[in-house]
Amino acid sequence: MASDLSIVLLSLRAAALATALLLPVALVVSWLLARRHFPGKFALDVIVTLPLALPPVVIGYALLWAVGGSSPAGRAIQSIFGSAVVFTWVAAALAGAIVALPLAVRAFTLALAQVDPVLEGAARGLGAGPIRVFLTITLPLAGRGLLAGLLLGFVRAFSEFGATIVVAGNIPGETQTAPLAIFTRLSAGDDGGAARLAVISIVIAVIAIAAHNYMLRRTDRSDLHRTPAR
């Protein structure tokens, strides 16, 4: 049986990769939702939000179908990297990224919507291109809100169970994250071992949520300071 430390480290590694994977997707989608009006905007919002409404097992099954060895994507991955992605810790990260994506997108959208477009317009008027404006004006102003969204996505990816067990399995030392190990230990009657991992998971979640709330409070205070007196 894997040790508590190895299980927690594997869970943190999978959650960190999940957060890195969802970051660029969440940024692009949230920018479109916050700043653009286009046909299909509602459909995009529905698609991104869908993982919140679907049973995680369905998401895991969809991932298994999408990146399994018999799928075109799965065969391409195996050809490039020499091994399949399913039933590996990377598959656990993919599952966590998809499940956490809606939370990150909602937080990112709110953060980007709070950036004053007048400041961005002033930068463009001074000759800055769209990418430079985004990197030097939009991102710094929305930074705390974006970081808060990442923390929320990280803790959601860390706690993912249903999609992970379908697409990554429950292999001790390989894909067994903390939620899977808690389930396994409870099934085996190891209440003490399950309780230890549960406490560790709660501590990690509390730290991430506390940091998330702190970032939001800092963002709210910054907005208040930027608001001109009437």
Q: Which residue has the higher pLDDT, 41 or 212?
A: 41
Do residues 21 and 64 touch, judged by C-beta distance below 8 A? no
Residue 214 has pLDDT above 90, yes or no: no
Do residues 17 and 177 touch, judged by C-beta distance below 8 A? no
CATH number given to 4-226: 1.10.3720.10
Do residues 103 and 141 touch, judged by C-beta distance below 8 A? no
Secondary structure (3-state) at 172: coil
Q: How confident is the model at residue 119 (pLDDT cuts 50, 70, 90)?
A: confident
Do residues 185 and 193 touch, judged by C-beta distance below 8 A? yes
pLDDT at 222: 58
Mean per-residue pLDDT for 88-98? 95
As a whole number of angstroms, the distance between CA 60 and CA 37 comes to: 32
As a whole number of angstroms, the distance between CA 55 and CA 169 comes to: 17
pLDDT in tens, 12-43: 999 999 999 999 999 999 999 998 888 999 99
Name, in order, each residue with C-beta under 8 angstroms of 153's C-beta and a sequence gap of 6 or more. Answer: 18, 19, 22, 26, 100, 101, 103, 104, 107
Mean pLDDT, the chain, rounded, equals 89
pLDDT > 70: percent of the chain: 94
Name residue 119's amino acid. Answer: L
pTM: 0.88
Residue 192 has pLDDT above 80, yes or no: yes
Q: Which residue has the higher pLDDT, 217 or 43?
A: 43
Considering only CA atoms, give the Rg of the chain: 20
Name, in order, each residue with C-beta under 8 angstroms of 125's C-beta and a sequence gap of 6 or more. Answer: none
Do residues 206 and 132 touch, judged by C-beta distance below 8 A? no
pLDDT in tens, 122-174: 888 888 888 888 888 888 888 888 998 999 999 999 999 999 999 999 999 99
- In total, the chain counts a number of residues equal to 230
Ramachandran angles phi, psi of 11, nearest 5°:
-65, -45
pLDDT at 229: 41
Mean per-residue pLDDT for 83-100? 93
Secondary structure (3-state) at 40: coil
pLDDT at 44: 93
Mean per-residue pLDDT for 40-49? 93
Work out the number of other CB atoms within 10 angstroms of the CB of residue 78. Answer: 15
Task: Look at 52-56, 78-82, 112-116 and tell me which has the smallest mean pLDDT.
Answer: 78-82
Do residues 201 and 154 touch, judged by C-beta distance below 8 A? no
